[in-house]
Structure 1
Amino acid sequence: MTSTGAIRRVGLFSAPMLSAPARSWPIGAAITMVLGALMTSLFTRSFGIALADIRGAYGLSIDEGAWLSTITNAAQLITAPAIPMAVAIFGPRPVLGMAGGAFVLSTLLAPLATAPWMVFALHLTMGVALGCFVPAALALIFANLPPRYWLIALGLYSARLTFALHGGVSSSGWMVETLGWQAIYWLGTALGVAFLLLAHVSFARQPMKDSLWARTNKGEVAMFCLGLTLIFTGLDQGNRLDWLESGVIVVLLAGGLILLAGAVIWQFLSPLPFAHPDTMLKHNVFLALAISLCFAFTTVATSLLIPGFLATIGHLKAVQSGAALFWIDAVQIAVIPLSIWTIRRGYLRLTLAGGFVLVMAGCWLGADVTHLWRGDDFALASALIGAGNGAVLLTFIALAIANSRREELVNLAAYIQIVRIVGPEFGLAMVSTFLRKQEAAHATAIGLHIDLPRLAALVKGESLATLAATVSREAHVLAIADGYRLCLWAALTGLALTLFLKRTPPHPLARFEA
């Protein structure tokens, strides 16, 4: 029987997830959850790319459109950290059935909404539902598949992020241009229906664990989820509202940090915590989470810098940016089998280091960007960055798993939501702010070398307008180059952290460490 000390360290809700429920279909369960994770990433990315069209269709202001995006994404954190707990208590069938049903209904009705309150309510429902799929995917993959298949499932898990992050740009543009903005939602409806059908045949009914529910400290869960939601909201709106110059951002970030810190401290003091943080404090697991923060910055090199450059300088629509982003998807998907092969042989540190070196090489090439570059000019840089990020993503997930006991994996699935949602948002917010400030600085520096009064006496107003546009263009290009250098330093930091990793203990994911 598990001792009280062991329960405190492992967490109350890990034990019920250690084995798959009777009469379930393990392979079908894994496929179902990978589809759910793909649905989450693809909808989130497509919605973000098509936000301007969606905002115009709903008749929302720029400010309302920004808050609509924030609510849709932040709402995922209301449920995401608690989903492993909910699956352990109620079973996967009712939890995922309710989430899938809510997502199908909200995406089906969203294009028909007329009043702003209806639009915001439906998107809040979408976000809450989307927050259920990815954490449940990790927990149920661990519970339904033997360890020797985990890497394959995690490879598919990482591939769906790659496809959604970059393929979502061109697919979103194509849907808006060809089928209309409503297709963004109705594609989600179709994927949601397929998810529900697979979940129905893959998961058996389980009785509710009333004793676990009675012993749950709901306050810990509420503080943890609400704290992360407030932090995400502050990060998402921070660049637009100028960070600490806005009282709203200060309140959101301070309140979120206080709630999150209180929830984590409570886990150490509670006799039966819902997910004990002790797993995160292991040397290699902690470093894997730190490396994932570096990864959050390096992904911006392809998810933000390239589409932003092609839209601003190349004046290309989203559907036209697909040629530049195709290489990222192709090489990341191609590198996953190679990464699985090296990880299975225990070369985790070597795979991780090699990935960061490739990212650094791609960022070094990208730093030479000029205003003449178009999609094909980014091909080599994006291919290198894509290959490197593909190897890094799968390896740091495998590293965290290989250094955790099986009974700790559900705890890992709960806390990894900080890495999965808040980490990328932090990287995106920091790089966006960095680009904005660097563009302003470069525009000022270029302007110092132009004698505007003398120039005004020599040329017409139209030429001055052309000159102003040229200065703005070059300032933006220089800021993009600085963005690539920032991502290069993030990759170098990740490479340095790799040097401090210790040997991985024997594990089905890594039989020996080189």
Structure 2
Amino acid sequence: MNEPVAYATSIAKPGVSRGLISITVMLTTIMVILDMTIVNVALPDMMGALGATSDQITWVLTSYIVAEAIMILLTGFLVTLFGRKRLMLVSVAGFIIASALCGQADNLAEMIVFRLMQGICGASVIPLSQSVMVDVFPKEERGKAMAFWGIGIMLGPILGPTLGGYITEHLGWRWVFYINLPVGILNLLMVWTLLQAEAGRKVRADWLGALFMAVGIGSLQLMLDQGNQKNWFDSGLIQILAAISIMTLTYFVIRSWQRPDSIVKLDLLKDRNLATSCFMMFVFGLGMFGTIALQPIMLENLLNYNAQTTGLVMAPRGLASMLGMFLVSRLINRVDLRLIIFTGFVLSATGTWMLTQKSLQAAEVDFIWNGVVQGLGLGMIFVPLSTLAYETLQAAQTSQAAGIYNLSRTIGSSVGISVATAILSHADKMSQSGLSAHITASNPAVTQWLATQHLTLNSPQAISTLASALQQQALMVAFNDTFWVVMLSFVALAPLLLLIRRPSPH
């Protein structure tokens, strides 16, 4: 990976090694990906400083997610207009400025505006970095490039909460944003030094279609983010957002499918590999982000782990993902990538199945092992899937394709978290109802259990103790049921591998 780029490409300066290009784009990717999750643990501290309620403070996350989802699809158009180096410089510089402003925010309104700026500026970085890696490396080395790039994508969501908790505890919540400044400035210097400008060109744009796209994706993301808080379709707001997203996105797709001036080249989805990979990455969001979102809640709320212990227990999943990517980089030109992905599905499903077997008596090492198995599988899925997505596309199409592919990941993560949380809430109610039917005075098991707590049916604390135990056991059952659904999502994806075309290994 350290040899100079020797074949025709206009993005790397002559004599610059592929290794340096890889480090440059990976740093930008890690910075942006981390910022999606590092803020989560700082929200309680931000509430007091910004004068926000628990419901209001979630807009700090929502504003970023909505802006990123809307802008990510515009990456291909902006690349054509400005070129990749200029767009990368503007994106990183804007992200640095927005981060500094977020750290200075004095109220919730300011924070939301500055987070919108962050999302707008950071959105293009991920598809841009992937596009650069795809173009700089020849096809036979593209798997290694995707493995290196995937480290940032996979580690960001896992390390973000742990790093955010440490920074918030020792430096204060404002440093969650300030930490982007030195990293961002280094990124800016590397992009300026190592990449060379490409000629941009003016292009016609269907701005009406772009407006419908922005409204549709923004409404969809708002619906997914606020759905659980608003009790989904019992809320008029959620119903309105659903109706708006369906109508506007349907019109956008019909209008833009083959228009030459469309902002997003949706006709790229005629490519079977890209379309299948996008769908698989969308569903992959349920497996990856559903687990990452729910497991910390289970560890902290049910097993009383503190934030640091939770982070340490979940960290091996990230390390195992790195190992999976390393294995893929060694096998990618020797083994059919579809076989590697299938193996990843098996490992991910197995690791998730191990989560379904947990109880309130589970030890820390039990969670570490299931994280290792699942993480190894996730790493073996992500890299080859990202490689196959561009396998049958022309080089000039990668920026547009990267925007579509990464939107699938972004929307998939939101859907995954929302679906997993909704299933957990429903399963919790069902479990409480089912278990409470067995808690009666005539059930000898109830009397025996109370005796172990040094209580009887007539003790004043008996009802509250039983209610607390019921809630804990019901929630544990609900987590197990939810992880069953996550496991099935990996199983259901496996047959889709038959739709992907793959040339013979080199």
Kept in 1, the 8 Å contact 2:290–2:416? The answer is no
What amino acid sits opposite 1:198 in the alignment? Answer: M
Q: What corresponds to 1:34 in structure 2?
A: 26
Secondary structure, aligned partner of 1:209: coil
CA contact (8 A) 1:239 1:432 kept: yes
Paired amino acid for 2:321: Q
Cross-structure match for 1:140: 132
Counterpart code for 1:320: T
Secondary structure of the structure 1 residue equivalent to 2:39? helix
Query: 1:269 and 1:337, CA in 2 relative to 1: closer, same or farther beyond 3 A?
Result: closer
Distance 1:345 1:220, change over 3 A: farther
Give the corresponding residue for 1:501.
499
Aligned counterpart for 2:115 among listed residues 116, 119, 123: 123
Residue 374 of structure 1: how far off its partner (Å): 4.1
Distance 1:377 1:345 in 2: 34
Pairwise CA distance, 1:186: 1.3
User: 1:376 deviation in Å?
Assistant: 1.8
Aligned to 1:167: 159
Q: In structure 1, what is the equivalent of residue 451 of structure 2?
A: none
Matched-pair contact (CA < 8 Å) for 2:286–2:420: yes
Q: Which moved more, 1:294-303 or 1:471-480?
A: 294-303
Pairwise CA distance, 1:208: 4.2
* Aligned-pair CA distance for 1:452: 7.4
Q: How does 1:375-454 map to 2 (within 5 A)?
A: 375-451=364-440
Shift of 1:286: 2.5
Q: Is residue 111 of structure 2 the alignment partner of residue 111 of structure 1?
A: no
Matches within 5 A, 1:39-118: 39-118=31-110
Question: Is residue 336 of structure 1 aligned with residue 332 of structure 2?
Answer: no
Instruction: Report how far residue 206 of structure 1 moved.
Output: 4.6
CA distance in 1, matches of 2:372, 2:354: 11
The correspondence for 2:266, drawn from 270, 277, 296, is: 277
Q: Which stretches in structure 2 are left out of the alignment for 5+ residues? A: 1-7, 448-454
User: Do the aligned residues in 1 keep the contact of 2:337 with 2:384 (CA within 8 Å)?
Assistant: yes
Higher relative contact order (CA 8 A, sep 6+): 1
Could you report, residue by residue, the CA deviation over 1:236-279 in whole angstroms, capped at 9, with x for unpaired residues? Answer: 11111111111211222221232222222222342343443233
TM-score, structure 1 length as denominator?
A: 0.88
Aligned-residue offset at 1:110: 2.1
Partner AA of 1:440 in structure 2? K
Q: State the distance in 2 between where 1:457 and 1:372 align.
A: 24
**1:457 to partner: Cα distance:** 9.3
State the partner residue of 2:248. 259
Decide which moves more: 365-374 or 401-410.
401-410
Pair 1:364-2:353 in alignment: yes
Cα deviation per residue 1:295-338 (whole Å; 9 max; x = unaligned)? Answer: 11211464123211111112223222122112111111011121
Partner residue in 2 for 1:489? 488
Shift of 1:428: 1.0
| Match in the other structure for 1:12 | none
d(CA) in 2 for partners of 1:208, 1:487: 44
Post-superposition Cα deviations, 1:200-232, rounded to whole Å, max 9, x if no partner, equal: 21233455423x2xx222333333233222211
SS in 1 for 2:304: coil
User: 1 CA distance for matches of 2:465 and 2:270?
Assistant: 56
Moved more, 266-275 or 324-333: 266-275
User: Percent of pairs identical after alignment?
Assistant: 21
Q: Which of 234, 239, 264 is matched with 1:245 structurally?
A: 234
Aligned-pair distance for 1:176?
A: 1.6
Further displaced range: 262-271 or 322-331: 262-271
| Aligned positions of 1:172-251 closer than 5 A | 172-210=164-202, 212=203, 215-251=204-240
Task: Give how far 1:422 is off.
Answer: 0.4
Distance in 2 of aligned mates of 1:482 and 1:347 = 34
Give the TM-score taking structure 2 as reference length.
0.90
Tell me the distance in 2 between the aligned counterparts of 1:360 and 1:268.
Answer: 36
Offset at residue 22 of structure 1 (A): 7.6
Secondary structure of 1:75's counterpart equals: helix
Task: Give the 3-state SS of the residue equivalent to 2:123 in structure 1.
Answer: helix
Partner of 1:158: 150
Letter in 2 for 1:421: T
Preserved contact between residue 345 and residue 491 of structure 2 (Cα < 8 Å): yes
**Judging changes above 3 Å, is the alpha-carbon distance between structure 1 residues 94 and 20 closer, same or farther for their aligned structure 2 residues?**
same
- Report the aligned-residue RMSD: 2.4
Question: Compared with structure 1, are the counterparts of its residues 439 and 428 closer, same or farther at alpha carbon in structure 2 (3 Å cutoff)?
Answer: same
State which drifts further: 412-421 or 281-290: 281-290
Partner of 1:241: helix, strand, or coil? Answer: coil
Change (3 A) 1:137 1:222: farther
Question: Which residue identity is paired with 2:259?
Answer: S
Q: Tell me the matched-pair count.
A: 487
Q: Structure 2: how far apart are the matches of 1:240 and 1:355?
A: 34
* Matching residue's letter, 2:389: A
| Distance change >3 Å, CA 206–CA 487, structure 1 → 2 | closer
> In the alignment, is the contact (CA less than 8 A) between 1:90 and 1:207 conserved in 2?
yes
User: For residue 7 of structure 1, what is the aligned residue in structure 2?
Assistant: none
Greater share of helix residues, 1 or 2?
1
Aligned in 2, Cα 1:170/1:375: closer, same or farther, shift over 3 Å?
Answer: farther
Which letter maps to 2:474? A
The answer (yes or no) to whether the contact 1:301–1:363 under 8 Å persists in 2 is: no
The 3-state SS of whatever aligns with 2:374 is helix
**Does 2:288 align with 1:290?**
no
Contact in 2 for aligned 1:362/1:385 (Cα 8 Å): yes
Q: Per-residue deviation at 1:26?
A: 6.8
What is the Cα deviation at residue 346 of structure 1? 4.3
Structure 1 unaligned regions, length at least 5: 1-17
* Equivalent pair of 1:39/1:191 in contact (CA under 8 Å): yes
* Secondary structure in structure 1 of the residue aligned to 2:390: helix
Give the Cα separation in 1 of the matches to 2:138 and 2:261.
28
Paired letter, 2:502: T
Q: What's the secondary structure of 1:459's corresponding residue?
A: coil
SS at match of 2:228: helix
